[in-house]
Amino acid sequence: MLRWCLIIVLLVAYLVPRTAANVPPRVPPRYSGEAQKLADPTYGPIPGESDHYSSYWGIERPFPGNIQDPVFPTEDGPPGEDDEVWQNLLSAEWIIFEFYQQGIERFTDQDFIAAGMPNNTRFRLMEIRNNEAGHLRVFQNMISPTSIKPGACKYIFPLSDPHSYLTFMTVLEISSMAFLAGLAQQVKAESARGAIAAMSQTEARHQAWALMDLWKTNPFAGPADTTFPYANQILYSTHDLIVPGSCPPENPEYPHPRQLLPALFAASNTTSLSPGATITLNFTDADNQPVFDPCIQYYAVFCHGVLNISVPIDTRGFPDRPINVTIPAAFEARGVIIALVADQIGAPTKESVVAGPAVMLEQPARLGPELVRKKYE
Ligand SMILES: *[C@@H]1O[C@H](CO)[C@@H](O)[C@H](O)[C@H]1NC(C)=O
Ligand SMILES: *[C@@H]1O[C@H](CO)[C@@H](O)[C@H](O)[C@H]1NC(C)=O
Ligand SMILES: *[C@@H]1O[C@H](CO)[C@@H](O)[C@H](O)[C@H]1NC(C)=O
Ligand SMILES: *[C@@H]1O[C@H](CO)[C@@H](O)[C@H](O)[C@H]1NC(C)=O
Ligand SMILES: *[C@@H]1O[C@H](CO)[C@@H](O)[C@H](O)[C@H]1NC(C)=O
């Protein structure tokens, strides 16, 4: 009798649909548990209310950047419809936040002045770092309580000198603008699309500051910045900034989903990335090289503004014979050009992309080839 009761109870428990319910978070013992306080969106300074995310002048990591563990779910139930996108964004934001944090730790005001930069450069970098801390908090709050909020990994950045640091900053900001334009297409909630558009405005302001004050150039990129639909491909191209194996093991795969496409960049002998320049393609990950089918015509697809132009490439004889391509001369030399290799004109689906993308900085023009040189140093 007792046995039957037990079986019935178990069956009922199994068959009754599970609804969201508060559960004590399952925090593995290797974490202090402090990060769980972040599960409450009202904990700590609130972005949009507190000036902490603008005017914090400490060198130490600002909240919530000082709490680097993942935040474990506090409710049982299915994930929110956009959780995956916000998790990808939070993982990307840890990279960006740490880039500014480490630059502030590494360089002094005097280092930037000696590199010919304005005397308030480090002050502005602190403000940007604070904005990025605010993005961390916004993205944490966007992830529903049924999903994990990813923690920080360890990162490798070009921190050898102020000039290359600021050059990298310039491409990082414009890349964020491009992948945010792509992520806005992935989220389902309309309010999420608005929030992502608002974040990309912040990155655009950071970029405008860099162009005007640091590089003394025109801050405008023409009528449209570059939009790129396959945001996760850009996110994946940042994986060489993450120290392998350094992420919390509970973090979701970054980005998810990902295609593990071969990395693409202009070859080391590139002297110009301007429209009209001929470059040689390099697939920079020795362990992940593309395999070209001799019966297929491949294209280098260049995205700029809201346009793209496809240029047929000659892949016969690869890898012994290098692949050259001319960057479309028709493009205005501003903003950024995003290049990839595809097996269809216009790369109409993410599956048609076979390598890349490569983010090629156009403005200021001289920094494009500088970034190429730095990459191979
Ligand atoms: C910083 O630079 C500005 C503009 O070049 C100058 O007016 C100001 O006096 C400088 N401040 C300091 C503390 O050097
Ligand atoms: C291609 O990339 C690899 C890996 O970064 C580098 O070692 C190699 O020198 C590059 N080749 C050219 C021609 O740029
Ligand atoms: C770049 O160097 C490669 C050899 O590594 C060469 O085959 C290619 O023609 C060069 N490309 C340009 C644009 O000079
Ligand atoms: C690539 O371009 C360079 C420079 O224009 C040229 O020297 C080289 O022969 C080209 N290589 C191929 C395979 O077309
Ligand atoms: C390129 O442009 C075509 C035509 O507008 C469009 O269908 C395609 O999705 C675009 N590709 C990318 C990668 O944006």
Tell me, yes or no, whether 131 lies in a domain: yes
Nearest alpha carbon to residue 183 among 91, 299, 64, 310? 91
Q: Residue with the nearest Cα to atom 6 of ligand 3? A: 322
Closest ligand 4 atom number to CA of residue 323: 13
**Tokens in use for 271?**
């002297």
Could you tell me if 232 and 329 lie in one domain?
Answer: no
Could you tell me if 166 and 292 lie in one domain?
Answer: no
Could you tell me if 101 and 227 lie in one domain?
Answer: yes
Range of the domain at 330: 265-375
Q: Among the bound ligands, name the one nearest to the CA of residue 279.
A: 3
Question: Where among 241, 257, 276 does a domain terminate?
Answer: 241
Report the alpha-carbon distance of residue 150 to residue 140 in Å, rounded.
8
pLDDT digits (tens, 9 = 90+) for 179-222: 999 999 999 999 999 999 999 999 999 999 999 999 999 999 99
Could you tell me if 224 and 280 lie in one domain?
Answer: no
Could you tell me if 237 and 174 lie in one domain?
Answer: yes
Tell me, yes or no, whether 118 lies in a domain: yes
CATH number of the domain bearing residue 360: 2.60.40
Q: Is 28 in the pocket of ligand 3 (CB under 6 A)?
A: no
What pLDDT score was predicted for residue 280?
A: 98
Report the alpha-carbon distance of residue 156 to residue 359 in Å, rounded.
18
Residue the block writes with tokens 């060198």: 59
What pLDDT score was predicted for residue 21?
A: 61
List all residues 6 or more positions away from 298 whose beta carbon is below 8 Å from its beta carbon: 292, 312, 313, 315, 341, 342, 343, 354
Please state, in angstroms and as integers, the Cα–Cα distance from residue 70 to each residue in 25, 86, 278, following that order.
12, 14, 45
Q: Is 317 in the pocket of ligand 4 (CB under 6 A)?
A: no
Question: Where among 208, 241, 274 does a domain terminate?
Answer: 241
Tell me, yes or no, whether 48 lies in a domain: yes
Could you tell me if 109 and 170 lie in one domain?
Answer: yes
- Nearest 10 degrees: Cα torsion 189, 234, 243, 164: -120
Tell me, yes or no, whether 371 lies in a domain: yes
Tell me, yes or no, whether 5 lies in a domain: no
Could you tell me if 79 and 179 lie in one domain?
Answer: yes
Could you tell me if 337 and 292 lie in one domain?
Answer: yes
Are the C-beta atoms of residues 302 and 330 closer than 8 Å to each other? no
Q: Residue with the nearest Cα to atom 2 of ligand 3? A: 269
> Residue 347 C-alpha to ligand 5 middle, in angstroms?
6
Are the C-beta atoms of residues 261 and 355 closer than 8 Å to each other? yes
Helix axes 367-375, 162-186, angle to 10 degrees: 100
Note the pTM of the prediction, 2 decimals.
0.93
Tell me, yes or no, whether 14 lies in a domain: no
Could you tell me if 50 and 96 lie in one domain?
Answer: yes
Could you tell me if 234 and 332 lie in one domain?
Answer: no
Alpha helices in the chain (DSSP H): 2-15, 83-106, 109-114, 121-142, 162-186, 190-209, 231-236, 367-375
Give the bridge partners for 312, in sequence order: 299
Tell me, yes or no, whether 1 lies in a domain: no
What pLDDT score was predicted for residue 22?
A: 66
What pLDDT score was predicted for residue 26?
A: 85
> Residue 282 C-alpha to ligand 3 middle, in angstroms?
10
Count how many domains the chain has.
Answer: 2
Which stretches of the chain drop beneath a pLDDT of 70? 1-24
List all residues 6 or more positions away from 321 whose beta carbon is below 8 Å from its beta carbon: none
Q: Among the bound ligands, name the one nearest to the CA of residue 268.
A: 2
Nearest alpha carbon to residue 215 among 181, 172, 167? 167
Could you tell me if 90 and 181 lie in one domain?
Answer: yes
Beta strands in 226-365 (DSSP E): 265-266, 278-282, 298-304, 307-313, 324-326, 336-342, 353-361
Could you tell me if 40 and 162 lie in one domain?
Answer: yes
Tell me, yes or no, whether 18 lies in a domain: no
